Amino acid sequence: MPQHSFNPAQDDHSTPWGGFGARLGGLTLLLMLVISGLAHAADRPNIVLVFADDLGLYELGCYGQEKILTPNIDRLAAEGMRFTRFYSASTVCAPSRCSLLTGMHTGHAFIRGNKEVGGWGPEDHEGQQPLPAEMVTLAERLKDLGYDTAAFGKWGLGGPGSTGHPCYQGFDHFYGYLCQRVAHNYYPTHLWRNHDVDVLGGNRYFSAHQRIDAPLEDEAEYARRFAGGDYAPEQIIKEAERWIADRAKDGRDAPFFVYYASIIPHVALQAPQDFVDRYPRSWDAEPYLGRNGYLPNPRPRATYAAMISFLDEAVGRLRVALEKSGQLDNTIILFTSDNGTTFAGGVDRVFFDSLGDLRGFKTNLYEGGIREPLIAWWPGHIGVGYESDLIAQSIDLLPTIIEAAGGHAPVDIDGFSILPTLVSSGEQRVHDVLYWEFPEGRQQQAVLIGGRWKAIRPDLKKGLTLELYDIMHDPTESTDVAGDRPEIVAQAEQLMRESRFPSELFPIPALDRQGP
């Protein structure tokens, strides 16, 4: 395997002078920035982090998918590293994003669930619970290291004007959906460019949650009622392409970070017709009428596959944009998702074998809700065609990226850098325990101990009853062994108490009464 070209523990340019120098002021700051290595920006990699939305572990060809075409993502895996035991930090959108960008698991994170701000109507305020101003994000840490930063796609961590707005959380540029509710429709009336509304003139307002009593007369009628002229994911990838190209055109030599948070394949089921037509009509004997939420669709299976293929093409287009700008060979590309496949909106996870034999799905803490792909690509640094069974969580990506960028992994977070695994050099720190809690619905809590014992409380509204699974020998979580291993149960209960502190915003009464 090719050896990596720097070791953050040894590199003289790894000191995060941005935060320190800001306190020195004036000429001293300028001198320190130069000394700290900003003059050597070309030596540090650009970073592109692709974060899919509701993508199941087995919905990519490189993870065994046989029906959905994902050649661009598969190529990244073939040329890089694929992780087989990687976990999201939560089982729904907003908390997964908070943990990803702050490195804190859901027992410590500020945002632990989807807490809405505003309403569902076209004139209602947009957004979810915002990150507070004092929160330190991955983008802010990279800014301190001299990186240009941009986010594209779905935000979900604060609406217009709030402290959580991406431009107040370390991003130089943002384009996409600030609000997760608006992102339920792929043909919205507008997106956001930084603080300004970008009107999509080809679209009209319609609710993303409708149902019909009987099939419509033809596919054209579905398109007339449930589509528009401007497909938001197309507008988002175009903006990302432009941003990368404009930097090259302007001669920017600072390294950059792109957070590409796609809304795909979160429902509603909506995709360009040419992508839908890549898949067999025979897949869909019946239309989806909207009875399980979101929008009716005449070809639900083909449309779901088409959405993932569009995401795959967007990844390919990012790669082409990097190549045209001359930055491809000096760029790390990471690909993962926020949680497992959904149960709603006409998605047929059984047909696609989206989660294999894993138990559960989005909104619960069984493996199907939190096991995710992770692909890492970095030419000349990450070996070709490598596979890793390292147990890691999305909170680990922040310290990994910071180390790869030449900084020191922060010690005030829950995540560990996995850079030693990526570049096959140095000692890899491992998690003795991974932790999750989920304050929505039935309310749940889980820990994974030593990569083997998975303890889960699946219904905290009914009490503290705990199930225990030997994931090493029972990855489908089919046999509860809590009664046979009381010593592991006791250890899990203690870890569940110690791994969290209560949140006023996201209370879980059964746990909060226990205290730390």
Residue ranges of the domains in the chain?
A: 45-431, 436-512
- For 321, half-sphere exposure in the C-beta direction (CA atoms, 13 angstrom radius) is 23
Lowest average pLDDT, out of 157-161, 251-255, 271-275, 359-363, goes to: 251-255
Element spanning 199, H or E: strand 196-199
Average pLDDT, the chain: 92
- What are the start-end ranges of the H helices in 456-499? 486-498
Helices H / strands E in the chain, number of each: 14, 15
User: Tell me: the pLDDT tens digits for 422-452?
Assistant: 999 999 999 999 999 999 999 999 999 999 9
How far apart CA 33 and CA 22 sit, in angstroms, is 10
- SS3 state at 366: coil
Closest CA to 96 of 418, 502, 440, 393: 393
For residue 446, say if its preceding peptide bond is cis, omega within 30 degrees of 0.
no
Contacts of 349 (CB under 8 A, 6+ apart): 56, 341, 342, 343, 355, 361
Mean pLDDT of 129-143: 98
Q: What is the pLDDT of residue 41?
A: 52
- Predicted confidence (pLDDT) at residue 454 exceeds the cutoff of 90: yes
How far apart CA 300 and CA 278 sit, in angstroms, is 13
How far apart CA 279 and CA 301 sit, in angstroms, is 9
Do residues 284 and 312 make contact, with C-beta atoms less than 8 angstroms apart? no
Q: Which amino acid is at 167?
A: C
Q: What is the pLDDT of residue 22?
A: 37
User: Tell me: the pLDDT tens digits for 89-109?
Assistant: 999 999 999 999 999 999 999
Q: How confident is the model at residue 113 (pLDDT cuts 50, 70, 90)?
A: very high
Taking domain 436-512, whether its CATH number is 3.10.290 is answered by no
Q: What is the pLDDT of residue 516?
A: 67
Q: What is the pLDDT of residue 25?
A: 41
- Predicted confidence (pLDDT) at residue 23 exceeds the cutoff of 70: no
How far apart CA 40 and CA 13 sit, in angstroms, is 9
Domain 45-431: CATH superfamily, name plus number: Alkaline Phosphatase, subunit A (3.40.720.10)
Tell me whether strands 196-199 and 386-388 are parallel, antiparallel or unpaired.
Answer: unpaired
Q: Is the dihedral of CA 216, 218, 219, 222 positive or negative?
A: negative
Q: How crowded is residue 266: how many other Cβ atoms within 10 Å of its Cβ?
A: 26
- Predicted confidence (pLDDT) at residue 39 exceeds the cutoff of 90: no
